[in-house]
């Protein structure tokens, strides 16, 4: 753990009126590592994801990101163009609802190719080739490349969103309940796919989920949140097999009971 972190947050605070969303939250993420943020709805986990990714500003605290060249940048002090550039190249964001990110009126190939074109690719043939290659990475048949997403199933849409996000080989991906709203069998296949891709490509990820099974399958480390506070964090197996905090114990036991 002496390696430099990829993303670090210190002393994050954010309140919505009287409601605390983040209370003195610290977080660290190392290159190639998957960190799960777990908790019930309203625990502040999605807010934390938004603050870590620069989509929402904290009232106090700082988020550092280490650029490929090694320098640290303060995510919330970055000029908007630099942050947006980061979001469409080095970073990726996978939404719970793929319709929030996909262009439903644009073909699957166009959806996957958009980030390449935004980065300056100007060869139709090679953009299309990359799109087809990425569709097969996420187990979508190459013959669907010209189809509109509205003809896709829920699981396919989520895989398409993942292809669209990973096409630029990001170093860091933020995922908000990526398997939420899917059938259990579809979930399992998707989790398998994500686990394989993340491991093979060495991508670091911050994953928000209310589902401890998802955290156990994908994450190296876990942070447990309750009412805006991080109540426990550590290696996934350690936290889930031997929870110390009463709230974590409750979460773990309710999963077992279910």
106 in contact with other proteins (CB under 8 A) = yes
On whether the CB atoms of residues 13 and 184 are closer than 8 A, the answer is: no
Among 69, 81, 151, 185, binds other proteins (CB under 8 A): 81
117 in contact with other proteins (CB under 8 A) = yes
Calpha distance 10→61 (Å, rounded) = 6
Three-state secondary structure call for residue 147? coil
Three-state secondary structure call for residue 209? strand
Q: Tell me which residue of 141, 143, 218 sits closest to 179, measured CA to CA.
A: 218
Minimum Å distance from CB 109 to other proteins?
6
Residue 13 or 238 with smaller CB distance to other proteins:
13
Stretch that binds other proteins, among 29-37, 53-61, 84-92, 235-243 (CB under 8 A): 84-92
118 in contact with other proteins (CB under 8 A) = yes
123 in contact with other proteins (CB under 8 A) = yes
107 in contact with other proteins (CB under 8 A) = yes
Stretch that binds other proteins, among 68-76, 119-127, 222-230, 239-247 (CB under 8 A): 119-127
Stretch that binds other proteins, among 62-70, 111-119, 155-163, 170-178 (CB under 8 A): 111-119
Q: Tell me which residue of 200, 148, 202 sits closest to 170, measured CA to CA.
A: 202
Stretch that binds other proteins, among 43-51, 80-88, 91-99, 154-162 (CB under 8 A): 80-88
Q: What is the dihedral of CA 201, 203, 207, 211, to 10 degrees?
A: 30
Residues 6+ apart with CB under 8 A from 79: none
Q: Which residues are paired to 221 by β-bridges?
A: 35, 235
104 in contact with other proteins (CB under 8 A) = no
On whether the CB atoms of residues 221 and 234 are closer than 8 A, the answer is: yes
The footprint of other proteins (CB under 8 A) covers: 16-17, 19, 80-81, 84-85, 88, 103, 106-107, 109-110, 113-115, 117-119, 122-125, 127-128, 146
């Amino acid at each position: 753990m002496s390696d430099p972190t990829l993303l670090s947050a210190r002393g994050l605070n954010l309140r919505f009126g009287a409601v605390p969303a983040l209370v003195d939250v610290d977080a660290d993420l190392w290159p190639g590592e998957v960190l799960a943020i777990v908790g019930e709805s309203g625990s502040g986990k999605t807010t934390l994801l938004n603050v870590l990714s620069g989509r929402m500003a904290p009232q106090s605290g700082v988020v550092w990101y280490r650029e490929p060249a090694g320098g640290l940048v303060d995510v919330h002090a970055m000029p908007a163009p630099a942050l947006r550039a980061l979001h469409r190249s080095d970073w990726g964001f996978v939404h719970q609802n793929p319709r929030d990110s996909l262009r439903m009126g644009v073909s699957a190939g166009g959806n996957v190719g958009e980030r390449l074109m935004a980065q300056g690719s100007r060869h139709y043939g090679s953009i299309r080739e990359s799109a087809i290659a990425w569709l097969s990475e996420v187990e979508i048949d190459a013959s669907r490349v010209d189809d509109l997403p509205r003809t896709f199933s829920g699981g396919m849409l989520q895989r398409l969103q993942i292809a669209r996000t990973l096409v630029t080989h990001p170093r860091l991906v933020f995922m908000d309940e990526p398997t939420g709203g899917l059938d259990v069998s579809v979930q399992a296949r998707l989790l398998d796919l994500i686990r394989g891709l993340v491991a093979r490509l060495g991508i670091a990820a911050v994953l928000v989920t209310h589902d401890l099974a998802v955290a156990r399958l994908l994450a190296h480390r876990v942070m447990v949140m309750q009412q805006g506070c991080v109540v426990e964090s550590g290696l996934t197996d350690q936290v889930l097999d031997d929870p110390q905090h009463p709230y974590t114990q409750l979460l773990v036991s309710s999963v077992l009971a279910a």
